[in-house]
Each structure stands twice: as C-alpha cells, then as structure tokens.
Amino acid sequence: MRWVWIDRFLDFQKGKSARALKNLSLAEEYFADHFPGYPVMPGPLMVEGLAQTGGILVGHANDFKEKVVLAKVPYARFHRDVRPGEQLIYDVRVTSLREEGAVVEGKVHCRTPGSTGPGELAVEAEIFFAHLDQARSKAIFGDRNFVFSGDLKLLMQHILPLTDKQPDKPG
C-alpha cells in the first residue's frame, strides 16, 4: 500500500494554507479489517492525511530544505464516521512557522461526490511539526531529504500551478 493519504491538492497558498482532496474507495485494503461488515475510515489515517497536507505546506514554505517531521498532535476530535464512496476535503492553516518547526490547524470535511456545499465536519486537529536538526540529520541521513521523496513528490507536482492562481471557492 502506498503511504499517501491525499489524492491531490486543490489550493495552495505558500506558507499560509492548503486544501487537498482524498477519495475513498472500498478497494482500499484497510476497509476489509476496519471493520468487517462495517467499513469506516480509521481516524488516525485522516490525521495522517492532514499531516501530509500540512507537512507539504510547511516544507514548501522553506523550499523543502527542512526535514519536516510530525512531532505532536495536541488535540484531534472526531465528529462522524467516514465511509467508502465519500470524499474528504483536508484544510490546513499555518498558525506558527519558525526555524525550529511549525504548527497547523486542520479540518477534514466529508461529502458525497457530486454534492454541493462544504460537506460535514469529520475531524478537527492541531498538528505540530519539528524541523529535524540540520546538523544531526545530515550525519544520520546524508543530504537526501527522506521526508519529501517517493510518492509525496507526485503530489507536489500539483502545487506549482496552484500557487499562481486564486483559491478555489469552497464546495
């Protein structure tokens, strides 16, 4: 399974906010076990989706020079079950951005494809990222930025055209 919990970016404001989309398919493996006969998206995977949206936003703010790692989730609140066939909209907003790390506030809304409106609130969370200490991580991992590699790079291709245009209207 690919460890990518967003399908594409819809909006991207450098260093400020990002909106991403995730479609949920019954073919995704975890639905078989979570739970047999009653497939629901596991809450921590939605937090991971927010963390990936926020992590790329925070990484992009420094042109991906920092290794951005999830350090802490001060709170996460789950409001409703999310089922296959639904669509998640991840919204994250940067509340602090410093040399040592960053904090984002995130919301996940859930809607049925084709429906209008912002959808229903499914998750709210605050996520705190640390910038891995440059000197030490260089000794351990070398020059390669292991955070922003592999499948996450596919997503970043969407960012460039988005940063040049106005934000999408919600809904």
Partner 1 sequence: MPTRDEIFAKVSETLVEALNVDADEVKPESTLQGDLGAESIDFLDIVFRLEREFGIKIPRGELFPESIFQGDPDFVANGKVTEKGLAELRARMPFAELDEFEKDPQVMKIGELFTVELITRYIEIKVKEGAN
* Residues at the contact surface with partner 1, assessed by CB under 8 A: 71-72, 74, 95-96, 98-101, 103, 128, 130
Q: Closer CB to partner 1, residue 59 or residue 101? A: 101
Q: Closer CB to partner 1, residue 10 or residue 132? A: 132
Helix intervals (H) in the chain: 30-33, 43-61, 134-141, 151-156, 159-163
Q: How far is the CB of 88 from partner 1 (least distance, A)?
A: 26
Task: Calculate the alpha carbon distances from 97 to 11, 59, 75 in Å.
Answer: 19, 10, 19
* Ordered strands of the 17-23 beta sheet: 8-13, 17-23, 87-97, 101-111, 120-131, 68-78
Among 17, 15, 131, 123, smallest CA distance to 71 is for 131
Give me the half-sphere count of Cα atoms (radius 13 Å) on the Cβ side of residue 127.
29
Q: Closer CB to partner 1, residue 49 or residue 101? A: 101
Q: Closer CB to partner 1, residue 57 or residue 82? A: 57
Task: Using the structure block, give the residue that is written with the tokens 């703010």.
Answer: 61
Q: Which residue type occupies 162?
A: L
Q: How far is the CB of 95 from partner 1 (least distance, A)?
A: 7
Give strand pairing partners of 79. Answer: none
Q: How far is the CB of 41 from partner 1 (least distance, A)?
A: 25
Tokens of 5: 């919990």
Q: How far is the CB of 130 from partner 1 (least distance, A)?
A: 7
Any idea which residues carry the catalytic annotation? 34
